[in-house]
Amino acid sequence: MRVSLKDVAERAGVSIKTVSNVVNNYPHVTPAMRTRVQRAIDELGYRPNLTARHLRKGRTGIIALAVPELGNPYFAELAGAVIDVAAQHEYTVLLDHTQGSREQEILVSQGFRSRVIDGLILSPLELEPEDLAARTDDAPLVLLGERRYDLPYDHIAIDNIAAARAAVRHLLTLGRRRIAFLGARQDRTVQPAHLRLLGWQAELAEWGVPAEDALVTATGGWDHEDGSVAMAKLLDSGQLPDAVFAYNDLVAIGAMRVMSERGLKVPEDIAVVGFDDITESRYGAVTLTTVAPDKQAIARLAVESVVGRLKSQQNEETPRPSQELQPGFTLVERESTLGRGASNSLPGHGATT
């Protein structure tokens, strides 16, 4: 049933290697021979066995992308971009989702797909530095997202502090002074991350506006439901902010839903800024002002990092040192801060390295 090079070779009356040469477009094959072999290939319907090729070549042409949750449109959109960029480099993407569990993230980073994937793009949530330090797999790894590890791996993230500050500054410029932050981590002591919260604090400090703890609300995760719960909690606690800066768009949209249920108008009563610029934020009854990371750039940088390092490995060059790469971002101003009638976008900070 299965047809291999050997079968084609017999049919064409040549050696296996000649067939292989034809398949791989090896230059020194006479046209006559090429057509003869090609006919045998067509007649038998030969398809190369990629697994065997991979074994022989030592690489598979597959890179993995591991994100916390595909249900989150940000990651889905990013995944789409990564798949496209990878295809341009003739790589295929194997998608994993870790559900944000530390165990899953460790498993993935340790390379449990040993020798099936050539490289890995990981967007970690719970992974700890020591987990990564213990990594033995030699496949190139790139880290995505807010957390920093200070380990010799390329790290790709927009300047989260600058982005958060731009968002908060926008709200301050509009005259808002009681700006809540939605989506802090429960265990705020552990986290070395959450630059967005730091950005919020920094910008408020610069304007001399007190950063009240009561205006910071923690969430379990960062989806619609978490946003709704957090917003309800905030309002129930007696706080009435005049603006909300949410960890991401899902939280922002979940929060806006609660505002709407309670008769609070956006942006008149409460202005809202999100983060991620998912498609959804452009189509609500009130479109969402949000920080738009350059997803295309993120995808491009991530794939190029992995592919570049693979090339170095292959040529036995010394790989270039690991880098912090900062794609650009934009603050997209929409109705949730400006109200109906205006919608605009400003160029952001952060250079695309």
Q: Which does 285 bind (CB under 5 to 8 A by kind): a copy of itself, DNA, none?
A: a copy of itself
Give the Å distances, CA to CA, from 230 to 17, 99, 219, 337. 65, 21, 6, 20
Measured CA to CA, the distance from residue 63 to residue 49 in angstroms comes to: 19
* CB nearer to DNA: pick between 57 and 188: 57
CB 320 to DNA: min, Å = 25
> Which segments of 58-210 does DSSP mark as H helices, in order?
73-88, 102-109, 129-133, 160-173, 195-206
Q: Which does 45 bind (CB under 5 to 8 A by kind): DNA, a copy of itself, none?
A: a copy of itself
Measured CA to CA, the distance from residue 58 to residue 170 in angstroms comes to: 51
94 sits near a copy of itself (criterion: CB under 8 A): yes
Q: Give which of 91, 95, 92 is closest to 69, Cα–Cα.
A: 95
SS3 70: coil
* CB nearer to a copy of itself: pick between 285 and 351: 285
Q: Which does 319 bind (CB under 5 to 8 A by kind): DNA, a copy of itself, none?
A: none
Tokens of 78: 């990013």
Measured CA to CA, the distance from residue 141 to residue 333 in angstroms comes to: 35
CB 94 to DNA: min, Å = 19
Q: Which does 188 bind (CB under 5 to 8 A by kind): a copy of itself, DNA, none?
A: none
Which positions lie near DNA, rule CB under 7 A? Answer: 2, 4-6, 14-18, 20-21, 23-24, 27-30, 32-33, 46-49, 52-53, 55-58
Query: Which of positions 211-270 make contact with a copy of itself (CB under 8 A)?
Result: 223-224, 228, 253-254, 256-257, 260
**For residue 100, is it left (φ>0), alpha (ψ between -120 and 50) or beta?**
left
* CB nearer to a copy of itself: pick between 62 and 211: 62
**Residue 151 in contact with residue 129, Cβ under 8 Å?**
yes
39 sits near a copy of itself (criterion: CB under 8 A): no
What single letter denotes the amino acid at residue 83?
A: I
Tokens of 102: 């530390």
* CB nearer to a copy of itself: pick between 203 and 277: 277
* CB nearer to a copy of itself: pick between 84 and 212: 84
CB 53 to a copy of itself: min, Å = 9
Q: What is the DSSP letter of 288?
A: P
Q: How many CB atoms lie within 10 A of CB 47?
A: 11
131 sits near a copy of itself (criterion: CB under 8 A): no
CB 206 to a copy of itself: min, Å = 33
Tell how far CA 348 is from the center of its chain.
Answer: 19
Q: Which does 279 bind (CB under 5 to 8 A by kind): DNA, a copy of itself, none?
A: a copy of itself
Give the Å distances, CA to CA, from 62 to 95, 191, 208. 10, 32, 51
Q: Which does 137 bind (CB under 5 to 8 A by kind): a copy of itself, DNA, none?
A: a copy of itself
SS3 40: helix
Tokens of 214: 């009561």
* CB nearer to DNA: pick between 27 and 341: 27
Q: How many residues bind a copy of itself (CB under 8 A)?
A: 50
113 sits near a copy of itself (criterion: CB under 8 A): yes
CB 49 to a copy of itself: min, Å = 4
245 φ, ψ to 5°? -110, 115
Q: Which positions touch a copy of itself (CB under 8 A)?
A: 1, 45, 47-52, 54-55, 60, 62, 69-71, 73, 76-77, 79-80, 83, 92-97, 111, 113-116, 136-138, 223-224, 228, 253-254, 256-257, 260, 279-280, 282-286
